Amino acid sequence: MSAATPNPRIHKVALLGFGSVGSSVARVLCDSHPAALELTHVCNRNVARKQAAAASGCLPSSIRWTEDFEEVLASDADIVVEVIGGLAPAEDWVRRSLAGGKSVVTANKQLIARRGDVLIPLAHELGRHLLFGAAVAGGIPVISGLQQGLAGDELFKIHGILNGTCNFILSHIEQGASFAESLAEAQRLGYAEHDPTDDVDGYDAAAKLAILARVGLRSAVKFDEIACRSIRPIQAFDFEYAREMGCTIRQISRAERLGDALLAGVQPALVPLSSPLAQLEGGQNMVMATGRYGGDTVFAGHGAGGNPTAVAILSDVLAIVANPVPAVPGAPPVLRPANANFTSRYAIRLIVDDQPGIIVEVASILARHGISIDAILQKPGFSKAELPFMITLEPCAHSLMETALAEINKLSFVTQPALSLPLLEV
Amino acid sequence: MSAATPNPRIHKVALLGFGSVGSSVARVLCDSHPAALELTHVCNRNVARKQAAAASGCLPSSIRWTEDFEEVLASDADIVVEVIGGLAPAEDWVRRSLAGGKSVVTANKQLIARRGDVLIPLAHELGRHLLFGAAVAGGIPVISGLQQGLAGDELFKIHGILNGTCNFILSHIEQGASFAESLAEAQRLGYAEHDPTDDVDGYDAAAKLAILARVGLRSAVKFDEIACRSIRPIQAFDFEYAREMGCTIRQISRAERLGDALLAGVQPALVPLSSPLAQLEGGQNMVMATGRYGGDTVFAGHGAGGNPTAVAILSDVLAIVANPVPAVPGAPPVLRPANANFTSRYAIRLIVDDQPGIIVEVASILARHGISIDAILQKPGFSKAELPFMITLEPCAHSLMETALAEINKLSFVTQPALSLPLLEV
């Protein structure tokens, strides 16, 4: 055997993108100056303006600022850090960087969730790294935790709170505000974008869940195969009913093996107050991985922000420095999503124009579908014309419950579509 | 550049020790049969009895059972898994395995905490792996999380609940039992050993903290340089006072950079109920790492048990398979512990024979040392001859507070030595 030889070579890093995350990467890299790394290129549109803005910082004058990706590609940079976001031109630039013999570190969740099935094998074929620890849950080392730290387990379930914006909005509704007020507050504070669709309707979390399911559950799930349900219908009184059940409501991303298939979905769910998932603050993220041998393991921390994301990127860069040749890839992912047909306890929230016989009619429909009622909760103090109440069910399949719900929604006294919330057992 | 070549070679694993953890390693390895691994040797005293007990399991007949370590050393096993525990013969066998060209995976916290300063550089020199993810917090991937996942941050603080036995005992006292009753219950359930010293007096947690500080804070702290305070003085009424302050009491291990020095200690502490550390159940473990850029990151899960520990061991074994040649080591650890002189808010619990003028005398001593009182808490319902009350202090150095406490302990009305509890800000 041969002893490990210290490698004094400097690894040259090129940065594609100099927005919030890119400038954090540059600053942390230059602040903490790891001995083995040198930032040699920054590539961005309007690069003169970016460079001028950065000049007040500590970035060394040796950095080559350019608007031309071809210059990066032709350079001797070893590692390309892609923080442009989106698919174009990021996908093309990542492919060409890999083909040009460079390893790539990316924070781009859309790129990995949508094109990972092609790009990851491509990197393996070319003998280069394609690392994406920053694409999920920012600074929380969950990708390396699933890939290396829990490599010895057989994971079968992943639950997470992967979108800090939804966590903020739901916490705000919990304190009595409406959805619209809470969204406006999140936008005012810069937590939510002008068009909040990606966050509140679950697509942002679904992209992250697709990546976690690939890494942790060896699933080939495609981004758009993950069912998403919006948090928009959640109202303050839903939290009052949740508390009656010892729960709160959170946007939960979950994926679970079921034989050779994968169940995966993003939706608002009832979370027991005793669960770590119920205790997460504001913009933080949490991932809980469940294994056959090791049980539940929890990872939590800052899910977004320039500096935490920069930490995740630099950790990936340092992993490449430590092991320049990628490990032999494991078997390719195989699990495909069947659907989001989780069997759970569910709570159904109905809003009705109160009149005699409501419970009988609703209970009859549920009974006809073989669904057993666990309890009926009704709190005082609401208008009889818009009366909310909650029915909790014994465990049943999501599809069965939805079929019954479609019938219930047609009842004349139902004034708003019923809302169904799974009750997590974590 | 050259493409990564799939390496079909089988890595042969020898197991030293076949107790609870060792048999779990063998079972998980044979259950989940990773393609690249083969268990070839089991070495243990009374091996015939062990083999007979294991025969009902699924272990393949090809395994060579032996009582003779020399046979393992002479074999073609690539990876030696050491789960004997203790220093002798584990230390000698690990050294000789490394010298014999084998990589080593160990779950032995005493070995790494006491001899890591020698064994880790030795492994580097010999170009072999010495991995010890299972030595701290069982199945929680915190060592890989600190070493790889957070490599890009500059960590400066680690807090943890590293001993599940203490967490169980303190939770039991919280429900009204005495320390003696709670310890007896923990022993009855098999959570505490006949001699509970290592657990309740903090030495077990200190060994784990020494390893975390080495890995996460680049500290060369020695195991016996970590100050330990016992949880034995904690009584049920301490939790009543803690709740008045919005806190609970937990055995906390903490290490923190202070310039070029390290503060490190294991002690019972007041933990705000809002902290993740306050919410940990029974025998679970939690580590919170704080970085300059990424803020707090939390790792939690099963800190002990055969299967979770086996997962950590197998994850390390698979890391060796993925990268047979160890990465170039980083700079050696440098931080040395100054002491455990944390500056904190503290609460002092006094038990007195009640009489007029007590507050004046105690407050005078504190004032003379320049320590400001924040609040005085006294709950009704206690005997006047053994009256507990609590004084919370403005932030001050531990040493200053202890000096004042020594004087307070000499006051005639003080019936038991004062207990000091730092109030964590996490």
Distance (Å, rounded) from C-alpha A301 to C-alpha A132?
17
Q: How far off is chain A from B176, nearest CA to CA, in Å?
A: 21
pLDDT band at A363 (very low <50, low <70, confident <90, very high): very high
Phi, psi of B388 (to 5 degrees): -90, 140
Neighboring chain B residues of A32 at a CB cutoff of 8 Å: 152, 154, 292
Inter-chain touch A311–B299, beta carbons under 8 Å: no
Least CA distance to A307: which residue of chain B? B293
Is residue A388 reached through a cis peptide bond, with omega within 30 degrees of 0 on the bond before it?
no
Inter-chain touch B139–A125, beta carbons under 8 Å: no
Whether A182 and A297 map to the same domain: the answer is yes
Inter-chain touch A127–B3, beta carbons under 8 Å: yes
Neighboring chain B residues of A312 at a CB cutoff of 8 Å: 152, 294
Which residue matches tokens 């055997």? A1
pLDDT value at position B308?
93
Residue in B296, B312, B326 nearest the CB of A4: B326
Residue A313 lies in a domain: no
Whether A170 and A71 map to the same domain: the answer is no
Which residue matches tokens 């504001």? A282
User: Among A208, A379, A384, A410, which one carries the catalytic annotation?
Assistant: A208
Least CA distance to B315: which residue of chain A? A152
Neighboring chain A residues of B154 at a CB cutoff of 8 Å: 32
Whether A149 and A293 map to the same domain: the answer is yes
Whether A147 and A127 map to the same domain: the answer is no
Tens of pLDDT along A127-184? 999 999 999 988 899 999 999 999 999 999 999 999 999 999 999 999 999 999 999 9
pLDDT value at position A4?
45
- At residue A247, does pLDDT exceed 60? yes
Inter-chain touch A4–B149, beta carbons under 8 Å: no
Residue B321 lies in a domain: no
Q: How far off is chain B from A104, nearest CA to CA, in Å?
A: 15
Is residue A89 reached through a cis peptide bond, with omega within 30 degrees of 0 on the bond before it?
yes
The CATH code of the domain that includes B15 is 3.40.50.720
Whether A64 and A127 map to the same domain: the answer is yes
What range does the domain containing B174 cover? 142-301+332-339
pLDDT value at position A59?
86
Inter-chain touch A314–B127, beta carbons under 8 Å: no
Which of B24, B29, B154, B311 to mutate to probe the A interface, most A CBs <10 Å? Answer: B311
Inter-chain touch A300–B7, beta carbons under 8 Å: no
Residue in B4, B315, B329 nearest the CB of A328: B4
Whether B103 and B175 map to the same domain: the answer is no
Boundary (domain end) residue, out of B64, B98, B131: B131
Residue B155 lies in a domain: yes
Least CA distance to B34: which residue of chain A? A152
pLDDT tens over chain B, length 426 residues: 344 444 568 999 999 999 999 999 999 998 887 778 999 999 999 888 888 877 667 788 899 999 999 999 999 999 999 999 999 999 999 999 999 999 999 999 999 999 999 999 999 999 999 999 999 988 899 999 999 999 999 999 999 999 999 999 999 999 999 999 999 999 999 888 899 999 999 999 999 999 999 999 989 888 888 999 999 999 999 999 999 999 999 999 999 998 888 999 999 999 999 899 998 877 789 999 999 999 999 999 988 889 999 999 999 999 999 888 887 666 777 777 777 889 999 999 999 999 999 999 999 999 999 999 999 999 889 999 999 999 999 999 999 999 999 999 999 999 999 999 999 987
User: Among B109, B208, B222, B384, which one carries the catalytic annotation?
Assistant: B208
Residue in A32, A128, A297 nearest the CB of B141: A297
pLDDT value at position A224?
85
Inter-chain touch A4–B327, beta carbons under 8 Å: yes
Whether A112 and A147 map to the same domain: the answer is no
Q: How far off is chain A from B237, nearest CA to CA, in Å?
A: 24
Inter-chain touch B295–A301, beta carbons under 8 Å: yes
Residue B179 lies in a domain: yes
Least CA distance to A325: which residue of chain B? B4
Whether A349 and A293 map to the same domain: the answer is no
- At residue A5, does pLDDT exceed 70? no
Q: What Rg do the C-alpha atoms of chain B give, in angstroms? A: 24
Whether A96 and A65 map to the same domain: the answer is yes
| Catalytic-residue membership of A208 | yes
User: What mean pLDDT do residues A304-318 have?
Assistant: 93
pLDDT value at position B8?
60
Residue A326 lies in a domain: no
Distance (Å, rounded) from C-alpha A243 to C-alpha A250?
13
User: What mean pLDDT do residues A28-45 have?
Assistant: 89
Q: How far off is chain B from A376, nearest CA to CA, in Å?
A: 30
Distance (Å, rounded) from C-alpha A110 to C-alpha A104?
15
Residue in A101, A149, A294 nearest the CB of B145: A149
Least CA distance to B320: which residue of chain A? A327
Residue in B1, B149, B328 nearest the CB of A141: B149
Residue in A141, A295, A315 nearest the CB of B301: A295
Q: How many CB pairs under 8 A join A and B?
A: 207
Neighboring chain B residues of A128 at a CB cutoff of 8 Å: 1
Inter-chain touch A311–B294, beta carbons under 8 Å: yes
Q: How far off is chain B from A246, nearest CA to CA, in Å?
A: 16
DSSP A143-194: HHIIIIITTTS-EEEEEEE--HHHHHHHHHHHTT--HHHHHHHHHHTTSS-S
> Looking at the 3D structure of chain A, how many domains does it have?
3
Inter-chain touch A327–B1, beta carbons under 8 Å: no
% of chain A residues with pLDDT over 70? 97
Tell me the ipTM for this assembly. 0.90
Boundary (domain end) residue, out of A74, A107, A131: A131
- Closest by Cα among B109, B329, B315 to B218: B329
Inter-chain touch B276–A300, beta carbons under 8 Å: yes
Whether B66 and B123 map to the same domain: the answer is yes
- At residue A8, does pLDDT exceed 70? no
Neighboring chain B residues of A313 at a CB cutoff of 8 Å: 152
Distance (Å, rounded) from C-alpha A332 to C-alpha A311?
28
Residue B352: C-alpha distances to residues B192, B241, B362, B384 (Å): 32, 16, 11, 8
Tens of pLDDT along A377-392? 998 899 999 999 999 9
Boundary (domain end) residue, out of B78, B109, B131: B131
Inter-chain touch A294–B139, beta carbons under 8 Å: yes
Whether B289 and B174 map to the same domain: the answer is yes
Residue in B4, B150, B279 nearest the CB of A124: B4
- Give the least confident one: A319-323, A411-415, B162-166: A319-323
Average pLDDT over all residues of chain A: 92
Q: How far off is chain A from B302, nearest CA to CA, in Å?
A: 7
Which of B298, B314, B426 to mutate to probe the A interface, most A CBs <10 Å? Answer: B298
DSSP B34-102: -TTEEEEEEE-TTHHHHHHHHHTTT--TTPEEES-HHHHHHS--SEEEE---SSTTHHHHHHHHHHTT-
Residue B86 lies in a domain: yes
Least CA distance to B319: which residue of chain A? A148
Least CA distance to B286: which residue of chain A? A298
Whether A218 and A190 map to the same domain: the answer is yes
User: What mean pLDDT do residues A71-98 have?
Assistant: 97
DSSP A323-337: -SSPPPP-SPP-BEE
Q: Which residue type occupies B289?
A: A
The CATH code of the domain that includes B386 is 3.30.70.260
Residue A315 lies in a domain: no
Quickly list H helices, A305-382. 306-322, 358-368
Q: What Rg do the C-alpha atoms of chain A give, in angstroms? A: 24
pLDDT value at position A163?
95
DSSP one-letter code for B325: S
Residue A314 lies in a domain: no
Strand ranges for B282-362 from DSSP E: 284-291, 295-302, 336-339, 343-352
Q: Are B17 and B65 in contact (CB under 8 A)?
A: no
pTM higher than 0.95 for the full model? no
Least CA distance to A299: which residue of chain B? B299
pLDDT value at position B362?
96
Inter-chain touch B315–A128, beta carbons under 8 Å: no
**Of A72 and B3, more confident:** A72
Q: Please give the structure tokens belonging to residue B153.
A: 């941050």
Quickly list H helices, B189-300. 197-200, 203-217, 236-244
- Closest by Cα among A362, A344, A370 to A408: A362
Residue in A141, A292, A293 nearest the CB of B150: A141
